[in-house]
Amino acid sequence: MLDITSTPKFPPNPNRSIKCIVMALAVVCAAPALAAGSFTSAQADQGHQLFNDHCAECHRPDLTGALGPALKGSDFAKKWGGKPVEDFYQFEHANMPANAPGSLPKDQMLAITAYILKQNGMTPGSTALSEAAAKDMKMPGGV
Ligand code: HEC
């Protein structure tokens, strides 16, 4: 008579180890994924246009800087990386454009901020950037 309860005749369920690998990957992948998604692609596109209209004359269309400093690259990452996106946004809102500080409505400056985040390697997601969301987000780069 076949007794499958006393002696395990089967190798460990292979599904189980696959599940473990999938779960481990999910944990590893979850951390960087959190850095994405708090602005939308449409918002960044709108910000691109606004940036060209209001900021590019001093920061260049490719953000590499002219009269104003570069808004991407290693110096930028050193200065802003890891800081709350809110600080960055508030700086822009209070000081930029340098020739007319505070002249842009908040939603336009949020769109520009989304564009700058995208240019610095952040991935757009399904939720638009808001002042509230900016509090919980960190600027890309840094240590
Ligand atoms: C008339 C030129 C001019 C325009 C237009 C301008 N900026 Fe600037 N920007 C500057 C200068 C000059 C500085 C550096 C002085 C300072 O930090 O206060 C600067 C600094 C900055 C910084 C800080 C950079 C750093 O390294 O800390 C940000 C962010 C920024 N600008 C964003 C913007 C945005 C967004 C716009 C468009 C809405 C804009 N600027 C338009 C001249 C300009």
pLDDT in tens, the chain (143 residues): 555 555 556 555 655 655 544 555 444 444 444 455 689 999 999 999 999 999 999 999 999 999 999 999 999 999 999 999 999 999 999 999 999 999 999 999 999 999 999 999 999 999 999 999 999 999 998 76
Asked if 56 and 64 touch (Cβ cutoff 8 Å), the reply is no
CA 117/CA 125 separation, integer angstroms: 12
Ligand 1 centroid distance, CA of 97 (Å): 6
Nearest CA to ligand 1 atom 33: 96
Nearest CA to ligand 1 atom 24: 69
Ordered by where they begin, the domains of the chain are: 41-135 (1.10.760.10)
Strands (E), the chain: none
